[in-house]
Amino acid sequence: MGKGRTWLYCPGNKPGKIVKAGVYGADGLVLDLEDSVAPAMKHEARNLVSAALMHHPLNGDVAVRINGLGTDWWEDDLRAVIQAGGSILRIPKIETVEDIRSILFLLKDVQKKMGFNSVRIELQVILETPRGVENAFSILDAGEGFIHALSFGAEDYCSALGIDRKGPEFVLDYPRSRIAAAASAAGIACLDTVWSDFSDEEGLKKDASRAKNLGFTGKSVIHPAQILSVNTIFSASSQQIQWAKKVLSIGDIHQGAVAVEGAMVDEPIFRRAKQILKQSEEELHA
Binding residues for Mg ion, rule: CB under 5 A, are: 153
Rg of the chain on CA atoms, in Å: 20
Q: Find out whether 91 and 126 touch, Cβ atoms under 8 Å.
A: yes
- Please work out, in degrees rounded to the nearest 5, the angle formed at the alpha carbon of residue 106 by the alpha carbons of 154 and 28: 45
Q: Is residue 151 involved in binding ligand COA (CB under 6 A)?
A: no
Closer Cβ to ligand COA, 204 or 265, answer by number: 204
Q: Is residue 8 involved in binding ligand COA (CB under 6 A)?
A: yes
Q: What is the pattern of x (binds ligand COA, CB under 6 A) and - over residues 24-63?
A: --------x--xx---------------------------
> How far is CA 206 from each of CA 141, 146, 213, 215, rounded to the nearest angstrom?
32, 32, 10, 15
- Determine which residue in the list 68, 92, 218, 224 makes contact with ligand COA, applying CB under 6 A: 224
Closer Cβ to Mg ion, 4 or 153, answer by number: 153
17 binds, among Mg ion, ligand COA, none (CB under 5 to 8 A by kind): ligand COA
The Cα–Cα gap between 68 and 94 comes to 8
Pairing of strands 258-260, 189-192: unpaired
Q: Is residue 165 involved in binding ligand COA (CB under 6 A)?
A: no
Q: Find out whether 84 and 54 touch, Cβ atoms under 8 Å.
A: yes
Comparing CA positions, the residue from 117, 39, 41, 50 lying closest to residue 77 is: 50
153 binds, among Mg ion, ligand COA, none (CB under 5 to 8 A by kind): Mg ion
- Determine which residue in the list 53, 81, 154, 194 makes contact with ligand COA, applying CB under 6 A: 194
77 binds, among ligand COA, Mg ion, none (CB under 5 to 8 A by kind): none
